[in-house]
């Protein structure tokens, strides 16, 4: 596989994308202030949803009420960062299912408009897991490839951290299922931070390695997003795909590791991306399933405006606190959510496009899988060498974000 670059042309911004005026307004607001974006953005209409078991669409959901703004006094500190040196990546691997679902396939099955998808997201295809596959299966394939790439064995691994928000089950954890399938003698646990999950998991595992409590940690980011979206929802279903990526982390030199990293959250923005009926607050039951509330719901416009502002702010912060410039960074491995979010970062930060590898056009948004998928492809393609500075940035439901400037 080859990493490509992609730029999406301009066009009318509907449903998922705000107007250019809104985008300009967003760049002038305070970092991570969801309240300001909600005040000036009109709520998008609810998408049609249906239970998977019925062949017809349920009645459209009513437009959601205006979401409450978070308390400004509880806004997270957007400038809090950390550093953790003395760790290195010794191997990488990735996996996507064989089943390719193109925009033409979605048009044939559900009547979706391929041009609408391509112009507003930059996505042309995505991978969907087979009927016999779940998130743990994707994890295992990616992990085996990473182990092979590192020249290690499963017996060497003494820690497993899996970033996912689409676990096989509520319990046991996906990490425990992967641990059993790989035959590891290691503690194993999940980290649920949605599209920030890989960076969260990598930072977590690195603490164990840096302190000597792990000699070789396996970190996986993986999601089966196709299982939590309503396949009939034209504003959400086309965006997501399934995939997994993995890295192995061991002790490195004092010059290697996390030069700077930032893990952030804003729970006040939780309703912008949620599965309403999926836990103990609102359990899955007959009524909720009939209404499609078990599926992912997204306020696309406000998520977009938050994301473009956050990505720009956090990348500037990482570079400033590490004392580096754009030209000092070899690659920017950014979460593959929407081509226009990446285009905005490239334009505002002055990043050369060749430094921002893209898989979005082929795989869609694979959530926690997207950054390690990009990272592995670049690594195996010879685009990452010892001493390179690699910037990773994930952002998504929670709201959460995780940005890491890693010295390879």
The pLDDT tens digits of the residues spanning 182-231 come to 999 999 999 999 999 999 999 999 999 999 999 999 999 999 999 999 99
Q: Specify whether 307 is located in the same domain as 373.
A: yes
- Residue 204: CA count within 13 A, CB half-sphere: 22
| DSSP codes joined into one string, 84-129 | EESEEEEEEEEE--SEEEEHHHHHHHH---HHHHHHHH---EEEE-
Shared domain for 339 and 393, answered yes or no, is: yes
My answer on whether 41 and 146 are in the same domain is: no
Nearest to 268 by CA among 105, 45, 75, 25: 75
Q: Is the peptide bond before 172 cis (omega within 30 degrees of 0)?
A: yes
Q: How many CB atoms lie within 10 A of CB 148?
A: 12
Is residue 99 located within the same domain as residue 230?
Answer: yes
Task: Kindly state whether residues 44 and 177 are assigned to the same domain.
Answer: no
Q: Is 226 domain-assigned?
A: yes
Do 252 and 76 meet the contact criterion of CB atoms below 8 Å apart? no
How would you list the strands of the sheet with 82-85, edge to edge?
82-85, 257-265, 400-407, 389-396, 331-334
Are 318 and 370 members of one domain? yes
Beta partners for residue 4, in sequence order? 358
Which residues have a catalytic role annotated? 195, 335, 365
Q: For residue range 361-377, list pLDDT tens digits in order.
A: 999 999 999 999 999 99
Q: Point out the domain boundary residue: 232, 254, 276.
A: 254
Whether 342 is covered by a domain: the verdict is yes
Task: Say if residue 260's pLDDT is above 60.
Answer: yes
Same domain assignment for residues 122 and 149: yes
Same domain, 246 and 320: no
- Structural domain count of the chain: 2
Among 209, 235, 254, residue at a domain's last position = 254
| 381-408 average pLDDT score | 96
**Same domain for 246 and 275:** no
> pLDDT by residue (tens digit) across 126-157?
999 999 999 999 999 999 999 999 999 999 99
* Whole-angstrom Cα Rg for the chain: 20
pLDDT band at residue 77 using 50, 70 and 90 as cut-offs: low
DSSP 17-56: S--HHHHHHHHHSPTT-HHHHHHHSPPPPPPP---TTSSS
Spatial CB neighbours of 320, under 8 Å, sequence gap ≥ 6? none
Q: Is residue 8 part of a domain?
A: no
Question: Which CATH number do you get for residue 139?
Answer: 3.40.47.10
pLDDT at 53 over 70: no
Among candidate residues 254, 278, 312, the one where a domain is terminated: 254
Per DSSP, the three-state class of 238 is helix
Burial of 57 (0-12, 13-18, 19+ CB in 10 A): middle
Residues 246, 136: Cα–Cα separation, whole Å? 12
Q: Virtual CA dihedral for 306, 62, 102, 198, nearest 10 degrees?
A: 40
Residue 325: domain span: 20-56+76-81+258-407
Predicted confidence at residue 29, as pLDDT, reads 39
Domain shared by 119 and 168, yes or no? yes
In a domain, 212, yes or no: yes
Prediction pTM value:
0.83
219 and 275 part of one domain: no
Q: Which has more pLDDT, 63 or 326?
A: 326
**Mind listing the pLDDT tens digit for each residue in 282-340?**
999 999 899 889 999 999 889 999 999 999 999 999 999 999 999 999 999 999 999 99
Residues 172 and 228 in one domain: yes
């Amino acid at each position: 596989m080859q990493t490509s670059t992609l730029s999406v042309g301009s066009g009318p911004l509907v449903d998922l994308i705000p107007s250019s005026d809104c985008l300009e307004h967003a760049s002038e607001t305070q970092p991570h202030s969801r309240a300001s974006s909600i005040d000036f953005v009109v709520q998008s209409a609810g998408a049609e949803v249906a239970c998977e078991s019925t062949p017809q669409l349920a009645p459209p959901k009513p437009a959601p009420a205006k979401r409450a703004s978070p308390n400004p006094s509880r806004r997270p500190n957007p400038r809090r960062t950390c550093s953790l040196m003395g760790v290195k990546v010794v191997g990488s691997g990735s996996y996507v299912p064989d089943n390719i679902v193109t925009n033409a396939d979605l048009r044939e099955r559900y009547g979706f408009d391929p041009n609408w998808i391509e112009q507003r997201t930059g996505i042309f295809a995505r991978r969907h897991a087979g009927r016999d596959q779940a998130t743990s299966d994707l994890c295992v394939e990616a992990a085996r490839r990473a182990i092979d790439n590192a020249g290690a064995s499963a017996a060497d691994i003494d820690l497993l951290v899996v970033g996912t928000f689409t676990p096989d089950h509520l319990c046991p954890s996906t990490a425990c299922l992967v641990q059993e399938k790989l035959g590891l003698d290691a503690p194993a646990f999940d980290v649920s931070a949605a599209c920030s999950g890989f960076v969260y998991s990598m930072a977590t595992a690195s603490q164990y390695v840096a302190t000597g409590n792990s000699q070789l940690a396996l970190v996986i980011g993986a999601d089966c997003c196709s299982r939590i979206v309503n396949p009939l929802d034209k504003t959400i279903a086309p965006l997501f795909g399934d995939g997994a990526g993995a890295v192995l982390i061991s002790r490195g030199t004092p010059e290697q590791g996390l030069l700077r990293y930032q893990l952030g959250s804003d729970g006040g923005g939780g309703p912008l991306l949620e599965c309403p009926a999926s836990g103990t607050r609102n359990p899955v039951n007959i009524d909720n399933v009939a209404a499609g509330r078990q599926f992912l719901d997204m306020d696309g416009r406000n998520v977009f405006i938050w994301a473009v502002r956050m990505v720009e702010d956090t990348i500037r912060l990482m570079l400033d606190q590490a004392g580096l410039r754009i030209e000092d960074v070899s690659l920017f491995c950014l979460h593959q959510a929407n081509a226009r979010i990446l285009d905005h970062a490239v334009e505002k930060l002055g990043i050369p496009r060749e430094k921002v590898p893209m898989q979005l056009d082929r795989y869609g948004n694979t959530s926690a899988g997207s950054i390690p998928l990009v990272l592995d492809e670049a690594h195996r393609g010879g685009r990452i060498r010892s001493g390179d500075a690699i910037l990773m940035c994930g952002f998504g439901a929670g709201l959460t974000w995780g940005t890491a400037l890693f010295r390879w």
